[in-house]
């Protein structure tokens, strides 16, 4: 009996050892596939590990991620739920975000909101002005229904995405495989490899020609996608699989951005590997700034905030590139940011699963040129519970493209924007400034809107009726400030989502005694200055002009001559016209404030009579050039 028990125990131990060995073997294989981004194979291997009895948090996390990264949100939600049920604290808090997005994608909205609120609490990474997911959903709803969209006729039954229109030619990526790589499969998602295609639009019928492979050497047996073409049509930036894998055991090569040029025969070649690329990380999805001096792109290079971030890099005259710059935490999150596009007005559109959305990738908006820097989810119908990405728009025609897998396969959609994005972000705050004692409107009050940190959002000046209109952010509280030299400073708090109608500000006049024999020169010795190549009245000049107006109102017997000048950069005849324009702007300003035009004489003198001599070969500093761009005042009648 003892002998039999020993045999039994030995057998059990032997088979347990076999089980552990098999589990370790499968786990090693699964981790290798996962590290190589072969997520389909990784998911299959992790399922075998689970069947062998290993449901560790790390296995559950990677199994959920493997399905999530292939947009199989229903299966991702199953394994994230199992991980969530373990109640074990994860270093990767971002799985809560992915779990929430997965739930939203499969229609479990209430549960998704609960998990997202847990993510907000755990990460402390997103917008602190928004309390929870309900706030985000309300904002998304306000931004929705601004587009009319339709599927593009050139879509196939395979993956099609990333449309870029240059003149009448549409460049896009497709897995329809009309080339020699038919049958080759990508280990990431078990799909065919992508190539770049073109289709020409007929401006009369608005229909596209039959898609054709891009001519030249750009397409290969690897992935090629996300083409962007310079305005002259001669240079292309595009994404391509790195031909050199990380090591001999790696099945997946990284992505790189390449540059190609168009030959006289219309074929693309001279393919160049860019300095921003690396073999240990990916770069992808290039986009150009309006002046084509900056390249925006996506990377998971060291120093990124999350899984992929959006970067920019300067393009110098000879095509060399500067140092990559991360766009920062207002745009990049712990999740995935991708597919940047920059409009002619320096507005950035990009896709993200790290900011709150409707599920998977959502398209977001961020004005790079604005002081307000408000991030906005563009809402439905562009965004859905699926992956929505590769958004582009023409600011003039309001037409554009985006891609989505909402139909079960990635397709390209065309759209028309019917309501500008600005209307979703801002509203016009109208108001009136009156004198506290006389109850009459006050002209020339400088009215400024700042955020609660004191950062200026917009500024303006009250008109002849004391009225003003300023652009105000809908979703943040603001401070409204009114100031004028002869009145006491006043400010007023404007809550977020303000709907109280017009603002009425009552300002109190300062008691200032003006001597009748006040030195004219002291008042009129002032000079106002201009920005380079500009004629508009600057804010610092308004303060000085208000002093002049007050003086002219008290000394009605005098007239003044207004003399304006330019620096010597540019052609003399142009500078003469520019200085004339500056004089006219000052006269218009004084007229609007009640000073009779009969008392105002004016002329531009171009680059004559400089304060600082900046004639060639002498080089002047910015400050010295500034002194020459001025307007002076002189009494011509007493």
**111 has pLDDT over 90:** no
Last residue of a domain, one of 69, 92, 124: 124
Q: Is residue 222 part of a domain?
A: yes
Distances (CA, A) of 6 to 20, 617, 634: 21, 102, 115
Distances (CA, A) of 622 to 531, 534, 579: 10, 15, 18
| Residue 621 confidence (pLDDT) | 81
CB 321 within 8 A of CB 288: no
Distances (CA, A) of 407 to 76, 188, 351, 410, 411: 19, 21, 18, 7, 8
Residue 437 structure tokens? 């004692």
Claim to verify: residue 268 and residue 183 sit in the same structural domain: yes
Residue 540 structure tokens? 């610092």
Distances (CA, A) of 187 to 41, 66, 238: 7, 12, 21
Q: Which of 116, 627, 193 is nearest to 358 (CA)?
A: 116
Claim to verify: residue 410 and residue 478 sit in the same structural domain: no
| Residue 11 confidence (pLDDT) | 46
| Residue 246 confidence (pLDDT) | 44
Residue-averaged pLDDT of the chain? 83
Last residue of a domain, one of 468, 485, 507: 507
Instruction: Please report, rounded to a whole number, the percentage of residues in the chain having pLDDT higher than 70.
Output: 84
Q: DSSP per residue over 71-106, as a string? A: T-HHHHHHHHHHHHHTTPPPS-THHHHHHHHHHHHT
| Residue 129 confidence (pLDDT) | 44
Claim to verify: residue 433 and residue 348 sit in the same structural domain: no
**449 has pLDDT over 80:** yes
Residue 522: band (very low, low, confident or very high) from pLDDT cuts 50, 70, 90: low
Q: Name which residue leads in pLDDT, 478 or 289.
A: 289
**519 has pLDDT over 60:** no
Average pLDDT of the segment spanning 477-489:
79
CATH number of the structural domain spanning residue 100: 1.25.40.10
User: Computed from CA positions of residues 513, 519, 523, 526, in that sequence, does the dihedral angle turn out positive or negative?
Assistant: negative
Q: Is residue 114 part of a domain?
A: yes
**511 has pLDDT over 90:** no
Cβ-Cβ contacts under 8 Å for 363 (sequence gap 6 or more):
349, 350, 351, 377, 378, 382, 383, 388, 389, 391, 402
Measure CA 535 to chain center.
30
| Residue 247 confidence (pLDDT) | 44
Report angle CA 44, 46, 48 to the nearest 5 degrees: 75
Claim to verify: residue 551 and residue 441 sit in the same structural domain: no
Average pLDDT of the segment spanning 210-215:
93
| Residue 603 confidence (pLDDT) | 85
**125 has pLDDT over 50:** no
Q: Is residue 582 part of a domain?
A: yes
Q: Name which residue leads in pLDDT, 209 or 428.
A: 209
Sort 246 into a burial class: Cβ within 10 Å, 0-12 / 13-18 / 19+.
middle
**454 has pLDDT over 50:** yes
Work out whether strand 487-494 and strand 169-174 pair parallel, antiparallel, or are unpaired.
unpaired
| Residue 124 confidence (pLDDT) | 58
**193 has pLDDT over 50:** yes
Under DSSP, is residue 527 helix (H, G, I), strand (E, B) or coil?
Answer: coil
Claim to verify: residue 215 and residue 296 sit in the same structural domain: yes
Would you tell me the crossing angle of helices 109-123 and 133-143 to the nearest 10 degrees? 120
Residue 529 structure tokens? 């200055």
Under DSSP, is residue 62 helix (H, G, I), strand (E, B) or coil?
Answer: helix
Residue 14: band (very low, low, confident or very high) from pLDDT cuts 50, 70, 90: very low
615-628 core/surface letters (b: 16 or more CB in 10 A; e: else):
eeeeebeeebbbbb
Q: Name which residue leads in pLDDT, 447 or 525.
A: 447
- Exposure of 160 in the CB half-sphere (CA atoms within 13 A): 24
**402 has pLDDT over 70:** yes
The Cα 390–Cα 622 span in angstroms is 41
Claim to verify: residue 603 and residue 500 sit in the same structural domain: no
Range ranked top by mean pLDDT from 85-94, 164-173, 548-557, 618-627: 164-173
- What pLDDT, in 10s, does the model give residues 589-603? 999 888 988 889 888
Claim to verify: residue 295 and residue 400 sit in the same structural domain: yes
Q: Which of 308, 232, 254, 194 is nearest to 37 (CA)?
A: 254
Last residue of a domain, one of 90, 124, 158: 124
| Residue 497 confidence (pLDDT) | 67
Q: Is residue 401 part of a domain?
A: yes
Q: DSSP per residue over 269-312, as a string? A: EEEEE-TT--SSS-EEEEEE-TTSSEEEEEE--TT-SSSBEEEE
Average pLDDT of the segment spanning 94-105:
81
CB 512 within 8 A of CB 547: no
**371 has pLDDT over 70:** no
The Cα 187–Cα 251 span in angstroms is 8
The Cα 346–Cα 309 span in angstroms is 18
Residue 112: band (very low, low, confident or very high) from pLDDT cuts 50, 70, 90: confident
Range ranked top by mean pLDDT from 69-73, 235-239, 382-386, 457-461: 235-239
Q: What φ, ψ does residue 352 adopt, rounded to 5°?
A: -155, 145
Average pLDDT of the segment spanning 55-74:
85
Claim to verify: residue 269 and residue 304 sit in the same structural domain: yes
Q: Average the pLDDT over each of 11-15, 89-93, 549-553 and give the range with the smallest value.
A: 11-15
Q: What φ, ψ does residue 60 adopt, rounded to 5°?
A: -65, -40
| Residue 180 confidence (pLDDT) | 42
Domains in the chain: how many in total? 4
Cβ-Cβ contacts under 8 Å for 129 (sequence gap 6 or more):
475, 476, 496
| Residue 446 confidence (pLDDT) | 86
CATH number of the structural domain spanning residue 450: 2.60.40.10
**471 has pLDDT over 90:** no
Residue 135: band (very low, low, confident or very high) from pLDDT cuts 50, 70, 90: low
| Residue 128 confidence (pLDDT) | 46
Claim to verify: residue 118 and residue 169 sit in the same structural domain: no
- What pLDDT, in 10s, does the model give residues 296-340? 999 999 999 888 999 999 999 889 999 999 999 889 988 899 999
Q: Average the pLDDT over each of 58-67, 371-380, 462-471 and give the range with the smallest value.
A: 371-380
Q: Is residue 154 part of a domain?
A: yes
Report angle CA 258, 264, 269 to the nearest 5 degrees: 20
Q: Which of 306, 251, 302, 252 is nearest to 276 (CA)?
A: 302
Q: Is residue 142 part of a domain?
A: no
Give bridge partners of residue 34 from the DSSP assignment. none
Looking at residue 372, the DSSP 8-state letter turns out to be S
Q: Is residue 133 part of a domain?
A: no
Under DSSP, is residue 119 helix (H, G, I), strand (E, B) or coil?
Answer: helix
Q: Is residue 137 part of a domain?
A: no
Q: Average the pLDDT over each of 242-251, 323-332, 345-354, 568-577 and give the range with the smallest value.
A: 242-251
339-369 core/surface letters (b: 16 or more CB in 10 A; e: else):
bbbbbeeebbbbbbbbbbbbbbbbbbbbbbe
Range ranked top by mean pLDDT from 89-103, 131-145, 213-227, 502-516: 213-227
Claim to verify: residue 502 and residue 532 sit in the same structural domain: no
Q: Name which residue leads in pLDDT, 131 or 213.
A: 213
User: Computed from CA positions of residues 302, 304, 305, 306, in that sequence, does the dihedral angle turn out positive or negative?
Assistant: negative
**Range of 610's domain?**
520-637
**What is the pTM (predicted TM-score) of this model?**
0.63
CATH number of the structural domain spanning residue 558: 3.30.1330.60
Claim to verify: residue 270 and residue 358 sit in the same structural domain: yes
| Residue 154 confidence (pLDDT) | 93
- What pLDDT, in 10s, does the model give residues 246-270? 444 445 568 999 999 999 899 999 9
Claim to verify: residue 88 and residue 201 sit in the same structural domain: no
Q: Which of 413, 355, 353 is nearest to 381 (CA)?
A: 413
| Residue 539 confidence (pLDDT) | 86
**126 has pLDDT over 50:** no
């Amino acid at each position: 009996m003892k002998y039999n028990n020993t045999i039994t125990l030995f057998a059990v131990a032997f088979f347990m050892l076999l089980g552990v060995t098999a589990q370790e073997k499968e786990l090693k294989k699964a981790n290798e596939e996962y590290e190589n981004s072969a997520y389909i194979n990784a998911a299959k291997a992790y399922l075998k590990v689970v069947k062998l009895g290993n449901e560790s948090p790390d296995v559950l996390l990677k199994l959920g991620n493997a399905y999530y990264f292939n947009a199989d949100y229903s299966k991702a939600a199953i394994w994230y739920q199992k991980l969530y049920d373990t109640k074990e604290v994860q270093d990767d808090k971002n799985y809560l975000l992915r779990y929430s997005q997965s739930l939203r994608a499969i229609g479990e909205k209430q549960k998704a909101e609960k998990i997202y609120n847990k993510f907000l609490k755990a990460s402390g990474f997103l917008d602190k002005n928004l309390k929870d997911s309900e706030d985000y959903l309300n904002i998304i709803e306000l931004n929705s229904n601004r587009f009319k969209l339709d599927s593009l006729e050139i879509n196939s039954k395979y993956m099609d995405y990333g449309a870029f229109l240059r003149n009448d030619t549409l460049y896009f990526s497709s897995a329809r495989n009309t080339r020699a790589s038919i049958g080759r499969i990508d280990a990431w998602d078990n799909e065919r490899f992508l190539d770049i295609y073109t289709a020409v639009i007929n401006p009369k019928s608005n229909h596209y020609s039959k898609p054709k492979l891009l001519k030249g050497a750009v397409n290969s047996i690897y992935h090629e996608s996300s083409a962007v073409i310079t305005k002259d049509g001669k240079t292309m930036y595009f994404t391509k699989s790195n031909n050199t894998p990380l090591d001999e055991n790696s099945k997946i090569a990284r992505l790189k951005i390449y540059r190609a040029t168009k030959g006289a025969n219309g074929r693309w070649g001279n393919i160049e590997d860019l300095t921003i690329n690396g073999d240990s990380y990916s770069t992808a999805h290039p986009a150009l700034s309006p002046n084509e001096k900056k390249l925006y792109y996506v990377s998971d290079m060291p120093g990124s905030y999350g899984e992929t971030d959006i970067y920019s890099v300067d393009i110098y005259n000879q095509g060399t590139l500067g140092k990559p710059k991360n766009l920062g935490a207002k745009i990049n999150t712990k999740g995935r940011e991708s597919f940047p596009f920059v409009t002619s007005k320096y507005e950035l559109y990009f896709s993200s699963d790290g900011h709150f959305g409707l599920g998977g990738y959502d398209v977001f908006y961020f004005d790079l040129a604005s002081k307000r820097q408000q991030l906005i989810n563009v809402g439905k119908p562009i965004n859905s519970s699926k992956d929505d990405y590769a958004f582009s728009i023409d600011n003039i025609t309001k037409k554009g493209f985006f891609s989505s897998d909402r139909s079960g396969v990635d397709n390209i959609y065309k759209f028309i924007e019917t309501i500008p994005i600005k209307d979703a972000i801002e509203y016009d705050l109208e108001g009136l400034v009156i004198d506290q004692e006389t109850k009459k409107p006050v002209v020339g009050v400088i009215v400024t809107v700042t955020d609660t940190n004191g950062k200026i959002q917009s500024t303006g000046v009250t008109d002849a009726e004391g009225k003003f209109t300023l652009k105000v952010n809908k979703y943040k509280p603001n401070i409204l400030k009114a100031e004028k030299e002869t009145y006491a400073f006043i400010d007023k708090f404007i809550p977020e989502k303000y709907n109280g109608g017009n603002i009425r500000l009552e300002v109190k006049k300062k008691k200032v005694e003006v001597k009748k024999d006040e030195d004219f020169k002291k008042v009129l010795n002032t000079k106002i200055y201009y920005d380079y190549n500009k004629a508009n009245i600057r804010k610092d000049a308004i303060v000085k002009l208000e002093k002049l107006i007050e003086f002219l109102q008290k000394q009605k017997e005098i007239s003044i001559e207004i003399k304006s000048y330019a620096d010597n950069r540019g052609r003399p005849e142009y500078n003469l016209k520019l200085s004339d324009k500056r004089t006219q702007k000052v006269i218009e300003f004084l007229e609007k404030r009640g000073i009779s035009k009969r008392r105002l004489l004016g002329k531009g003198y171009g680059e004559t009579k400089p304060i600082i001599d900046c004639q060639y070969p002498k080089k002047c500093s910015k400050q010295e050039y500034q002194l020459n761009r001025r307007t002076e005042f002189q009494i011509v009648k007493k």
